Amino acid sequence: MDWQSALTLLLGTLFVLMLIGVPVAFAFLGVNLLGAWIFMGGEAGISQLVRNSIQSVSSFSLTPIPLFILMGEVLFHTGLAYRAINAIERLIARVPGRLSVVSVVGGTVFATLSGSTIANTAMMGGTLLPEMMRRGYHPNIAMGPIMAVGGIAMLIPPSALAVMLGSLAGISISKLLIGGIIPGLLMALLFLGYVVVRCKISPEMAPADDPSQRVYGWEKWKPFFRDVVPLLGIFVAVVGSMLAGWASPTESAAIGAVAATIATMCYGAFTLQSFYKSLIETARISVIILFVLIASTTFSQLLSFSGATSGLLGIITAYDLSPFMLIIGMLLILLVLGCIIDQVSMMMITLPFFMPLANAAGIDPVWLGVMLLVAMELGLLTPPFGLLCMVMQSVAPPQIRLTQIYASVFPFIVIEVLVIALILFLPWLAIGLPRLMM
């Protein structure tokens, strides 16, 4: 069978299974079984598939995934994350759209502690959105920042998806995690700037707060130093140990998980029930991610074994495209895919093709990896699939329509496209900090 027919068979079967509602991981598993039987010699191919599957999840580099997830789950289920958000809300005053600003700042802080986009959006939406709606905030300026800042958890460590991308793409995980810090913070600053300017131009979007409810002096700063600064110390320990070269990503993730657990004990928030919930959620999410890794790695091997990867690589290299044009093409493909499928599926489908092309063109893998993360983060917001839009719909008041949710997030989509462009033209935004590690 020629490589064109092999590619058509594999991708065609995959999309048919996904269209009829088969879960992504099981769709890939079905395609892998079919491909192993056809291209790798029947029963011998299935046996090789099993060996490849075991090998794909035996890598020590995947250990940070459950540890990063545990770190966020412990803080979430014990309520420390909520205390941090309340402390930040008390600290911020006298700015246009104060609660929207709180959602951006608080969401960014929680992103440095959880690494979960869904948990970030669900928590901020569940705590701040009802209060903003009660005070008369326009739905656009209430919902948009919450969804936009939720995606930052994909960039700023700890990020399980960044670890997954690094493992699948063969990119240094520590450099990829560190490389996402500056773009993530830049994105948060641009979100803040937009909210403040928009509310300054249109004050009716966000009514002013009652001055009588403000607190001053030590009462204003006390919750911040008590509930926020110690938790930020966990982020500093995780990132600082990697940046200084003292610890690998796995060791840094272990430091974060242990530090988060100790923090809950120091605050008196630790209970066996909350810790049990954290462990269960960590196991559930980790198993899903590792199962997806098995399917993705084997799918990549099948594409290579059938000749599809080398065939496509030959066609594209024949056009003699510049590295810049290759990157533009990759980003456009991800932006389109983000409208219809989830981030894990995007990785599984595209990386087997993208990385050989990038390596052949001599593109810096960390620079490319950070741009891919931002492009996939955009997929969290773009309709009709937009996972964070669905999360927002689940926590928003019943009268909020889905079209309103889409409209509220549009300005932030534009901002994220701008961030991708800045990284593309200013590579040091992504590779500056990782090079300090060297």
Instruction: Spell out the SS3 assignment of the chain.
Output: CCHHHHHHHHHHHHHHHHHCCCCHHHHHHHHHHHHHHHHCCCHHHHHHHHHHHHHHCCCHHHCHHHHHHHHHHHHHHCCHHHHHHHHHHHHCCCCCCHHHHHHHHHHHHHHHHHCCHHHHHHHHHHHCHHHHHHCCCCHHHHHHHHHHHHHHHHCCCCCHHHHHHHHHHCCCHHHHHHHCHHHHHHHHHHHHHHHHHHHHHCHHHCCCCCHHHCCCCHHHHHHHHHHCHHHHHHHHHHHHHHHCCCCCHHHHHHHHHHHHHHHHHHCCCCCHHHHHHHHHHHHHHHHHHHHHHHHHHHHHHHHHHHCHHHHHHHHHHHCCCCHHHHHHHHHHHHHHHCCCCCHHHHHHHHHHHHHHHHHHHCCCHHHHHHHHHHHHHHCCCCCCCCHHHHHHHHHCCCCCCHHHHHHHHHHHHHHHHHHHHHHHHCCHHHHHHHHHHC
Q: Looking up tokens 């889409």, which residue turns up? A: 406
Contact, 293 vs 56, CB < 8 A? yes
User: What does the pLDDT read at residue 215?
Assistant: 65
Contact, 308 vs 1, CB < 8 A? no
Mean pLDDT for the stretch of residues 116-125: 75
User: What does the pLDDT read at residue 35?
Assistant: 82
Q: Looking up tokens 């959880």, which residue turns up? A: 114
**Where are the domains positioned within the chain?**
57-437
pLDDT, one tens digit per residue, over 299-318 is 767 777 777 767 766 776 67
Task: Enter the tokens of residue 256.
Answer: 């974060």
How many whole angstroms separate alpha carbon 73 and alpha carbon 347? 24
User: What are the Cα distances from residue 325, in Å, to 64, 134, 316, 317, 328?
Assistant: 34, 48, 11, 12, 5
Contact, 157 vs 125, CB < 8 A? no
Task: Flag whether pLDDT at 177 surpasses 70.
Answer: yes
The CA radius of gyration of the chain, in Å to the nearest whole number, is 22
pLDDT, one tens digit per residue, over 393-429 is 777 877 888 788 888 999 999 999 999 999 999 999 9
- Spell 41-50 as b/e; 16+ CB within 10 A means b: eeeebeebbe
Mean pLDDT for the stretch of residues 22-46: 78
User: What does the pLDDT read at residue 312?
Assistant: 67
How many whole angstroms separate alpha carbon 346 and alpha carbon 169? 12
Contact, 363 vs 326, CB < 8 A? yes
pLDDT, one tens digit per residue, over 37-88 is 887 777 777 787 777 777 766 767 677 878 888 887 888 788 887 788 778 8
In the chain, the percentage of residues whose pLDDT exceeds 70 is: 91
Task: Enter the tokens of residue 418.
Answer: 């701008």
User: What does the pLDDT read at residue 341?
Assistant: 67
Query: Per-residue confidence at 213, pLDDT binned at 50, 70, 90?
Result: low
Mean pLDDT of the chain, nearest integer: 82
80 CB burial (10 A radius; 0-12, 13-18, 19+)? buried
User: What does the pLDDT read at residue 248?
Assistant: 81
98-112, 295-309, 340-354, 405-419, range with greatest mean pLDDT: 405-419
Contact, 163 vs 184, CB < 8 A? no
User: What does the pLDDT read at residue 305?
Assistant: 74
Query: Per-residue confidence at 323, pLDDT binned at 50, 70, 90?
Result: confident
pLDDT, one tens digit per residue, over 256-280 is 889 889 989 988 888 889 899 889 9
In the chain, the percentage of residues whose pLDDT exceeds 90 is: 13
User: What are the Cα distances from residue 103, in Å, to 88, 146, 204, 336, 377?
Assistant: 9, 6, 18, 28, 18
pLDDT, one tens digit per residue, over 181-209 is 999 999 999 999 999 999 889 888 888 76
How many whole angstroms separate alpha carbon 299 and alpha carbon 405? 35
